[in-house]
Amino acid sequence: MTDFSDQCILVTGSTRGIGYAIAERLLDRGATVGIHGRSAEHVADAAGKLQPHGDRVIAIDADFSDPCGGADAVARFLEEAGRIDGLVNNAGAGKARAFRAMTMEAWEETMRVNLGAAMTASREAYVAMRKQGTGSIVNIASIAGHRAAGWMGADYGASKAGLVSMTRSLALEAGRFGIRVNAVSPGFVETDMSSIIPDDMREKLTIPLGRFGSPDDVAGPVVFLLSADATYITGEILHVNGGLL
């Protein structure tokens, strides 16, 4: 296993689900990890569960419904950790919305959280990483950014497609400064967001591996992309969907 004992990594949206699994795995490997969420109470609860890792847990609460919250979260993490070696843009939101009922307010809200906050967080981290001459950013996209998801709204899919495009654009610009930028696109994962999918729809998905993924199924590939084992990988989108795509 790669040792992250000298690494400081911020994982947004990490009080539960995929983000929590990523943070826990990084802490197990020695990293100093920023635990982020919108609610200070939820962040404190998650940090409390990770208390055995002691002072390597940094609690960050920031509301990403304001895109500037992404930059604020990174700035606060930098203030406490002193550096940022990795950023995982995992925070996201989405609902099952019919296109005929889509409003501009709903569209913009999804874009602010899923794409705008990821942009400002990445920009803030990128500036710091350029000074360090090293760093890694991993964006959590979605199968919905590559094909019609069928149950999530078009706003969610468009925001994740934008995140895929941003990943490649930033990778191209940042590479000459020793900074890698990649994305992981999960398929259907057992989280709060997917809990609303009815059983009949689950059966129709015909996932080749025969099941929904777990948060740990996504955490492993993310940690790999952050690690020294992936030092020659940038601008890539790693699909984790049980063969569905």
Question: Each residue of 2-13: pLDDT tens digit?
Answer: 899 999 999 999
> 20, 126, 156, 232: which one is catalytic?
156
Query: How far is the C-alpha of 113 from the C-alpha of 36, rounded, in Å?
Result: 14
Mean pLDDT comparison of 44-48, 100-104, 180-184, highest-scoring range = 180-184
Residue 23 is assigned to a structural domain of this protein: yes
The one-letter amino acid code at 221 reads P
Whether 156 is catalytic: yes
Q: In this predicted structure, what is the pLDDT of residue 52?
A: 74
Q: Is the pLDDT of residue 1 over 80?
A: no
Question: Each residue of 188-218: pLDDT tens digit?
Answer: 888 766 556 656 666 667 788 888 889 999 9
Q: In this predicted structure, what is the pLDDT of residue 199?
A: 64
Residue 3 is assigned to a structural domain of this protein: no
> Within 112-184, where are the H helices?
117-132, 154-174
Residue 222 is assigned to a structural domain of this protein: yes
236 vs 243, residue with greater confidence: 236
Least confident of 50-54, 67-71, 176-180: 50-54
Residue 2 is assigned to a structural domain of this protein: no
207 vs 39, residue with greater confidence: 39
How many domains are there within the chain?
A: 1
Residue ranges making up the domain that contains 116: 8-240
Average pLDDT, the chain: 92
Are 60 and 76 in contact by the 8 Å Cβ rule? The answer is: yes
- Which helix (H) or strand (E) is 109 found in, with range? helix 104-111
Residue 175 is assigned to a structural domain of this protein: yes
Query: How far is the C-alpha of 86 from the C-alpha of 227, rounded, in Å?
Result: 9
Q: In this predicted structure, what is the pLDDT of residue 153?
A: 87
87-113 in b/e form (b: 16+ CB < 10 A) is: bbbbbbbbeebeeeeeeeeebeebbbb
pTM confidence score = 0.93
The one-letter amino acid code at 241 reads N
97 pLDDT band (50/70/90 cuts)? confident
Q: In this predicted structure, what is the pLDDT of residue 190?
A: 81
222: three-class secondary structure by DSSP:
helix
Residue 53 is assigned to a structural domain of this protein: yes
% residues pLDDT > 70 (the chain): 91
Q: What CATH number has the domain bearing residue 67?
A: 3.40.50.720
Q: In this predicted structure, what is the pLDDT of residue 203?
A: 66
